[in-house]
Amino acid sequence: MKIAYLSNIYPVTSATFIRREIRALEKLGVNISRFAIRKWTDQLVDPADIEEQANTQYLLTGNTKGVLRNTAKTLTENPKAFWRALKLMAKLIGNAKGQLVHHAAYLGEACCLYQAYRAQSIDHLHAHYSTNTAAVAMLSHALGGPSYSFTVHGPDELDAPVHNSTALKIEHAAFVVAITDFCKSQLVRYSNFDNWDKIKVMRCGIATEEFTPSDHSFENNYQLVCVARMSGLKGQMLLPDAIAPIVDKHPEVKIVIVGDGEMRPKLESKIKTLGLEKHFDLRGWQTNAQVSDIVGASRALILPSFAEGLPIVFMESFARARPVMATYIAGIPELIDETCGWVTPAGSVERLTQTLDDLLSTSPEQLKAMGEEGRRRVEAMHDVNGLAANLKQAFEQQVQR
């Protein structure tokens, strides 16, 4: 059995879960070819990501002539299948209210993928995200390629289901993976009743055996860590306003922010305006090992997001036996409650201040118990080896059909 994995941009620093999933499947003996539409233009910092990039075939990056050549070849070899794909593309364009150029590019990428299938004897394709990757997967299937499936994470891809042709992509897929029960509920909401049984909950995971519970003391530890790209969705802009009212009560608090992005200049300006420079440390992107070390040395992980799927970094924090503070959105309450962390309403600076105060006032004994419960939960619910076994079974069943 040979499986192709398709991503939009791969590898990327904020999506290490795809790499872990692929490698866990390979440990189970699954032969996987990696495909991506584009190469990430920023510098990769983790050695494993650099290795993955070298093993990935890119459909669009540096391949404009190849897209044109493979499109012409596919049209010549099988005009009937090409027409079938064109009709699907027209539905995608109709649902998106335009974007002809984008969807024509998807068809060209699908032709590249179709030709790669033939050369590499691919049995099934699995895509991550229901956006352009699922569109390319669906079009390549219409061209005569193998069956496909895709994983839906959210939050962006769940915002505009009609524009995204979510129901159409589910209809033509062999099966669809939702990473949480909440995610499944949204896919059920947006799809035809006849296709509901295609939607399976398979929770994203980490290799828990690679994470040891941190022995760093909670006593006199007032370092909090936020790990995420700096974007409007992640809510880091609320942190200076939220922490300002309580720095006199908790003068040793320091928030380490790992990540980078378009909001960094605004965040730096906000921190400076409020005179909170000594309470913030903006580290930029770090390697996986560095992130793990920072999390393990912190009192808790915090992420005041406005929209999420279910961040992998929560699982990594729990695997290090560190509690988590998050917001009450999407699938987050399926993992986090008061026994292992704090869940606060999204967007409320006042409630975030109260929650941060509670976190900083919690006893070391209670923090230790919360971290241990988090570790137990991630072992039970989010081990990547269990996810890989479930995916392998689903792939095998589809290939046998």
The answer to whether residues 173 and 313 belong to one domain is no
Residues with pLDDT less than 70, the chain: none
Residues 344 and 247 in one domain: yes
User: What local confidence, expressed as pLDDT, does residue 42 receive?
Assistant: 86
Q: State the sign of the Cα–Cα–Cα–Cα dihedral 259, 265, 266, 270.
A: positive
> Does residue 346 sit in the same domain as residue 332?
yes
Q: How many domains does the chain have?
A: 2
Say whether both 176 and 220 belong to one domain.
no
The per-residue pLDDT for 46 is 86
Task: Please give the C-alpha separations between residue 387 and each of 16, 20, 263, in angstroms, as whole numbers.
Answer: 15, 10, 34
| 132 and 79 part of one domain | yes
CATH no. for residue 221? 3.40.50.2000
Q: Report the C-alpha gap between 221 and 367 in whole angstroms.
A: 11
Q: 131 and 254, same structural domain?
A: no
Q: Are residues 222 and 363 in the same domain?
A: yes
User: What is the 3 state secondary structure string of the chain?
Assistant: CEEEEEEEECCCHHHHHHHHHHHHHHHCCCEEEEEEEECCCCCCCCHHHHHHHHCEEECCCCCHHHHHHHHHHHHHHCHHHHHHHHHHHHHHHHHHCCCHHHHHHHHHHHHHHHHHHHHHCCCEEEEECCCHHHHHHHHHHHCCCCEEEEEECCCHHHCCCCCCCHHHHHHHCCEEEECCHHHHHHHHHHCCHHHHHHEEECCCCECHHHCCCCCCCCCCCCEEEEECCCCHHHCCCHHHHHHHHHCCCCCCCEEEEEECCCCHHHHHHHHHHCCCHHHEEEEECCCHHHHHHHHHCCCEEECCCCCCCCCHHHHHHHHCCCCEEEECCCCHHHCCCCCCEEEECCCCHHHHHHHHHHHHHCCHHHHHHHHHHHHHHHHHHCEHHHHHHHHHHHHHHHHHC
Q: Which two tokens stand for residue 60?
A: 């669009």
State whether 223 and 350 are in the same domain. Answer: yes
pTM above 0.85, yes or no: yes
- Judge if 251 and 363 occupy the same domain: yes
- Cβ proximity of 303 and 277 under 8 Å: no
The answer to whether residues 178 and 228 belong to one domain is no
Task: Give the per-residue pLDDT at 288.
Answer: 87
- pLDDT per position as a tens digit, 118-153: 999 999 999 999 999 999 999 999 999 999 999 999
Is there a single domain that holds both residue 172 and residue 221? no
Same domain for 300 and 340, yes or no, is: yes
Q: What is the extent of the structural domain holding 218?
A: 208-381
